[in-house]
């Protein structure tokens, strides 16, 4: 059995993994799904790094891919595999905004509209992402703009093996799958929206474990 460390994306918390975690636990795996509390990417790397034990499987959704990649770079000896679910797949020195420059303006404008500091990004554009469940929407929280501005630290080691999973044929993260294949990663697609780990938990859990559909 494996130890899974699940890293959520923007505006969410560890609770967004509940349906996946229940299935993984039911298969006998150990599951940790922290809620990131730091105000920037580098703090999130530290938070997740402290949860590592020998040979964990790191799983990141969306922004969580930034964290997973950075932690895998920093602790390759402790990571058996990294799984990127509709997620960023950065190289050292890259930020989320570097990978998706089209996000910079709407994130910045949303932050300026939300607070005079212009540093806090509220949840926005939710329906297009599949955030339609009222229970999910009510639990979303703002994030710091630094999460998408800060660049992944340099790395001198070799990144552990990884897999890439896209949510839908038209996922905005499709360029990440191209990069993943160039790095020799296995890639697959689950027919769902960006919130698939909530709306299509059985299919996504199967993709996380690398098996067929799990009920």
The residues with which 143 forms a beta bridge, in sequence order, are 121
What are the strands of the beta sheet with 162-167, ordered from one edge? 30-32, 3-7, 56-61, 79-85, 162-167, 186-190
What's the confidence (pLDDT) of residue 212? Answer: 59
What's the confidence (pLDDT) of residue 215? Answer: 37
Residue-level pLDDT, tens digit, the chain, 215 residues: 899 999 999 999 999 999 999 999 999 999 999 999 999 999 999 999 999 988 999 999 999 999 999 999 999 999 999 999 999 999 999 999 999 999 999 999 999 999 999 999 999 999 999 999 999 999 999 999 999 999 999 987 789 999 999 999 999 999 999 999 999 999 999 999 999 999 999 999 999 998 855 33
What's the confidence (pLDDT) of residue 214? Answer: 38
Q: Are strands 143-144 and 120-121 parallel, antiparallel or unpaired?
A: antiparallel
Report the Cα 108 to chain-centroid distance in Å.
Answer: 21
What's the confidence (pLDDT) of residue 156? Answer: 75
Give the chain's length. 215
What's the confidence (pLDDT) of residue 54? Answer: 86
Whether the model clears a pTM of 0.85, i.e. scores above it, the answer is yes
Query: CA-based Rg of the chain, rounded to a whole angstrom?
Result: 16
Residue 58: phi and psi, rounded to 5, are -90, 130
Give the span between the Cα atoms of 182 and 194, in whole angstroms. 23
Q: Which residues are catalytic?
A: 62
Q: 102-105, long-range: CB within 8 Å, 24+ apart, which pairs?
A: 103/148, 104/148
């Amino acid at each position: 059995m494996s130890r899974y460390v699940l890293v959520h994306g923007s505006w969410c918390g560890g609770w967004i993994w509940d349906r996946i975690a229940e299935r993984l636990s039911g298969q006998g795996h150990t599951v940790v799904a922290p809620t990131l509390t730091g105000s920037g990417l580098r703090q999130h790397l530290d938070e997740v790094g402290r949860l590592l034990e020998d040979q964990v499987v790191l799983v990141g959704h969306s922004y969580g891919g930034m964290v997973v990649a950075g932690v895998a770079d920093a602790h390759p000896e402790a990571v058996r595999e990294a799984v990127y679910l509709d997620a960023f797949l950065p190289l050292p020195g890259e930020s989320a905004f570097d990978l998706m420059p089209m996000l910079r303006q709407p994130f910045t404008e949303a932050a300026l509209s939300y607070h005079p500091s212009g540093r806090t990004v509220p949840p926005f554009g939710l329906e297009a992402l599949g955030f339609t469940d009222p229970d999910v929407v009510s639990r979303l929280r703002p994030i710091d703009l630094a999460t998408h501005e800060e660049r992944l630290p340099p790395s001198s080691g070799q990144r552990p093996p990884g897999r890439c999973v896209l949510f839908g044929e038209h996922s905005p993260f499709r360029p990440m799958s191209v990069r993943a294949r160039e790095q020799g990663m296995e890639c697959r697609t689950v027919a769902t929206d960006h919130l698939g780990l909530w709306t299509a938990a059985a299919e996504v859990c199967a993709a996380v474990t690398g098996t067929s559909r799990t009920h």
